[in-house]
Structure 1
Amino acid sequence: MEFLKAPIVILSLTICCVTSAPIKGGYWPSWAQDSFPPSNINTTLFTHVYYAFLSPNPNTFQFDNIEATTASALNSFTTTLHRKNPNIKALFSIGGGSFGTDVFSNMASSAGSRASFIRSTIQVARKYGFDGADLDWEYPQTQTDMDNLGLLLGEWRVAVNQEAKSTGKPRLLLSAATNYMPEITFDEVCDYPVASINSNLDWINAMCYDYYGPWTPDATGPPAALYDPSGDGLSTSDGLQSWISAGIQRQKLVMGLPLYGWTWKLADPSVHGIGAPALGIGPGNDGSLLYSEVQQFNAQNNAKVVYDTSTVSYYSYAGTSWIGYDDVNSIQKKVQYARSLNIGGYFFWTVVGDQGWKISRLASQTWT
């Protein structure tokens, strides 16, 4: 997960037994420290908030490179959230989309390097007051990577259990952000270690977004559609159902929701539906706009807003600019859909994208 392409494999250090209460998560990007400090977060709307991101030393696989300013930000994050809401869980997310895969692949490839990483994550969590850790490995590239991820999760669970027993402290939470489906294809098709996930993680954060974006520049598309009428499997329903079919425990499956949109430049302003020919990215930061920025764009440009019932997604257009995103109806229907599946909850990437907490509040009220 990163701005705005996330999210991300995510490991959160959490209690092993997930309760029936839904997870209402949100990622807070550390680069928003000045514009949107943790004190701005409405902690009544979330059960878990993730600090994004911390990265291990690529050589030692430990967090031995935390600078003073980062250390201060970590302390501020946990202290602020726990003061505002003592019941909220604060986790730190490790890696992120821009961190890449090589360091994680190397770390997970041997017992010694896995142990160094695990030991350091526990030390960071305790030192800075976190309730858990979240692994954002984007993405394991081979089945060997996936198998090593399974080993890592098992050893991590043993370590956090032992640490809690020896110290008498609450057990740290463990979660992982994953692909929206339990399999992913690079040079080969590889499958997430579902059995290890069930045994060792408290939940996974399935990144149910980024189905279309700047990497599909020739035509517009719904970035986070609930349904895919084309049958290509690029949808949240396809992703969640495939995880369930793969055998994941439903309460350990958490659905990702985007608080941003992707933009395109239309080839012909008169052709503006989903799948319209495009000439690359449109307005925004590398073709992305926060949800709040989408609302501003629509108002300032008198954009035409369309709710597409077949995909359960929104798009808007003005001139040659086209934006795909989620809004009130699509978010509510997604949360209702996830609840009907009896899965573990939902999370947002990222909390800074909302407009007056409109979407976050709606989601929280929909799943009470």
Structure 2
Amino acid sequence: WFSIVRMKLLTAIVLLATTLTLSESVMVCYYGSWAVYRNGKGKFDVEDIDPFLCTHIVFGFAGLGSDNKVRVLDPYNELCENYGKCAYDRFTALKKQNPNLVTTLAVGGWNEGSASYSKMAADPAARATFADSVLEMLNAHDFDGLDFDWEYPTQRGGNPEDKVNFVILMSELKKALHGDGKILTAAVSAGKATIDAAYDVPGFADTVDYIHVMAYDLHGAWDKYTHHHTILYQYPEDEGDNIYLNVDYAIQYWLSMGAPAHKLVLGTATYGRCWRLDDTSDTGMYAPASSPGSPGPYTYSPGFLGYNEICEHDLTSPWTIVNEPVMNEPYIYDLSFGNTWCSYDSPDSIITKALYAKDNGLAGMMVWSIETDDFLAECHSRPSILIRNMHEAFSGESLTTLPPPITTTRDPLDPTDPPTTVTFPTASPGEHCAYPGNNPDPYDCSFFYQCVYDGTGYIEYIVYCSEGALFNPITFICDYDYAVCALGDEYCPANCPL
């Protein structure tokens, strides 16, 4: 009897502690781990994360294996085994600098697609296997919780039953994670059509601690006209389904469908969506633009520029900046940069979004992603100006600026241990692995080779990109197919032109 009472008391204490933590305003920052492979000043590793900038940081991404277990997508970077770089452990070790920091692991993402998650969610045994593997992974690397990023139930190869099965899966994950003192969050769509098809909002909302509304990518080069991808309010010329594609509509719709305000986190972007103007005399909203804008020097993805790329470009080739009175956010263009036109959030417009979230009683703000902000303060007096501004505006508190990080690649060993130098073999003719990590196929970009060095040679895995995506041989990740094909015909002859 005493043991039962003691267990209930401990459970109550854990739940109380969780409630107290969740009642505070949150600043959720996603970390795209592939930024470690970027060039020059765009390279961003775990040690570049300011552990006091955000309240929650999310490591993106892990995936789902064919065995229904969590799958590590880049073992060389993320694990310590086989001479790996231990990114998971280094990431959660940021809590040593800030004990209040919450570190979680995101599973899913756009590149993962939907079909495998749909199949897993429909099978009770597969769901149990997945939940067990989640707990095992989180505990092995000291993560504080899971961020589930299924994009999206019922969509992209999913099934109509996903809407019900998603709630069942999330309920089981909640039971498993909360029972172990961990949190459960989810990243969700801001589009009305997807919300209607994918989510039983009241049932789903009951399963999670926070709902990260991805209120960005509302427009992009997949449209053949310019528009703002994070626009706060409806643009006067919007009609048809475009009247739903704005931040305000998305948040109010989630609220009207039964999502509690205290669980909603407004997602924003530290990047722009860009187009190549068809007519240089037409540079406004809804201008014809049939192809993606020029790529940046770090992300190298046509149609996409990190805020760091946008602001650094302005230092040498100034953008024409347009602030329409009917819009909160600016847009820019530079006819000398391949007629590129971009929509993005500025340090000022991001404050307005944070105040909007605060006025609507939301839990806080979220950003994708920490590594495309001006983290080196190349353009502003303070690093990570977008995240810093939105965090301070929502919380009402000033953040301390930390000194530049000490550069290091890993510290898995005791400091007294001598360093170990590992020389990786060059691939022999006919082999596909030239280095650890993701390697491109020279002809077909619908898949890539994931290469793990085991001390004597490479273990090779073939990984397919999801529908609508191709492997970008420059950035080493799956990207939108139109963006990869825009790099040039020499990269993916089997897939481009589309």
Q: What TM-score does the superposition give when structure 2 sets the normalisation length?
A: 0.66
- Verify: 1:150 aligned to 2:167, yes or no: yes
Amino acid at match of 1:366: A
**Runs of at least 5 residues in structure 2 that lack an aligned partner in the other structure:** 1-16, 38-42, 80-85, 296-300, 375-382, 396-498
Amino acid at match of 1:214: A
**Pairwise CA distance, 1:95:** 1.2
Alignment of 1:52-67 (within 5 A): 52-57=60-65, 59-63=66-70, 67=75
**Pairwise CA distance, 1:223:** 0.8
- Verify: 1:177 aligned to 2:184, yes or no: no
Secondary structure at the counterpart of residue 206 of structure 2: helix
Secondary structure at the counterpart of residue 184 of structure 1: helix
- Higher relative contact order at CA 8 Å, sep ≥6: structure 1 or structure 2? 1
Instruction: Pick one of 188, 203, 207 that aligns with 2:214.
Output: 207
**Pairwise CA distance, 1:311:** 3.1
In structure 2, what is the equivalent of residue 26 of structure 1?
29
Instruction: Pick one of 240, 245, 253 that aligns with 2:264.
Output: 253
**Pairwise CA distance, 1:308:** 3.0
- Verify: 1:283 aligned to 2:294, yes or no: yes
Secondary structure at the counterpart of residue 244 of structure 2: coil
**Runs of at least 5 residues in structure 1 that lack an aligned partner in the other structure:** 1-13, 165-170
In structure 1, what is the equivalent of residue 116 of structure 2?
103
Q: Summarize deviations over 1:225-267 as a string: whole Å, max 9, x none.
A: 0011225111000000000000111111111100000111112
Partners of 1:24 and 1:364 within 8 A in 2: yes
Secondary structure at the counterpart of residue 313 of structure 1: coil
Q: Summarize deviations over 1:265-316 as a string: whole Å, max 9, x none.
A: 1122121111111131111112100001011223322221112342321111
**Pairwise CA distance, 1:214:** 1.6
Q: Summarize deviations over 1:167-211 as a string: whole Å, max 9, x none.
A: xxxx111000000146517xxx51412222332100111100011
Greater displacement, 235-244 / 300-309: 300-309
**Pairwise CA distance, 1:15:** 4.2
Distance 1:32 1:327 in 2: 22
Distance 1:143 1:15 in 2: 34
Greater displacement, 139-148 / 349-358: 139-148
Alignment of 1:155-174 (within 5 A): 155-162=172-179, 164=180, 171-174=181-184
Partners of 2:109 and 2:151 within 8 A in 1: yes
Greater displacement, 308-317 / 284-293: 308-317
**Pairwise CA distance, 1:353:** 0.9
Max radius of gyration: which structure?
2
Partners of 2:162 and 2:198 within 8 A in 1: no
- Verify: 1:126 aligned to 2:126, yes or no: no
Q: How many corresponding residue pairs? A: 342
- Verify: 1:221 aligned to 2:227, yes or no: yes
- Verify: 1:87 aligned to 2:97, yes or no: no
**CA 239–64 in structure 1, closer or farther in 2 if over 3 Å, else same:** closer
Instruction: Pick one of 321, 333, 347 that aligns with 2:340.
Output: 321
Amino acid at match of 2:287: A
Distance 2:72 2:99 in 1: 29
**CA 16–104 in structure 1, closer or farther in 2 if over 3 Å, else same:** farther
In structure 1, what is the equivalent of residue 377 of structure 2?
none
**Pairwise CA distance, 1:19:** 3.2
Partners of 1:233 and 1:239 within 8 A in 2: yes
Amino acid at match of 1:78: T
Amino acid at match of 2:360: L
Partners of 1:181 and 1:206 within 8 A in 2: no
Partners of 2:202 and 2:257 within 8 A in 1: no
Q: Summarize deviations over 1:5-55 as a string: whole Å, max 9, x none.
A: xxxxxxxxx946763311101111111235211111122220000000011
Partners of 2:272 and 2:344 within 8 A in 1: yes
Amino acid at match of 1:287: G
In structure 2, what is the equivalent of residue 332 of structure 1?
351
Distance 1:19 1:64 in 2: 28
In structure 2, what is the equivalent of residue 363 of structure 1?
390
**CA 88–256 in structure 1, closer or farther in 2 if over 3 Å, else same:** same
Greater displacement, 16-25 / 27-36: 16-25
RMSD: 1.9
Instruction: Pick one of 112, 123, 130 that aligns with 1:117.
Output: 130
In structure 2, what is the equivalent of residue 311 of structure 1?
327
Q: Percent identity?
A: 28
Distance 1:41 1:106 in 2: 36
Partners of 1:27 and 1:351 within 8 A in 2: yes
Amino acid at match of 1:276: A
**Pairwise CA distance, 1:70:** 2.1
Partners of 2:63 and 2:70 within 8 A in 1: yes
**CA 253–182 in structure 1, closer or farther in 2 if over 3 Å, else same:** farther
Greater displacement, 254-263 / 28-37: 28-37
**CA 51–149 in structure 1, closer or farther in 2 if over 3 Å, else same:** same
Q: What TM-score does the superposition give when structure 1 sets the normalisation length?
A: 0.88
Distance 2:293 2:72 in 1: 37
Distance 1:69 1:323 in 2: 32
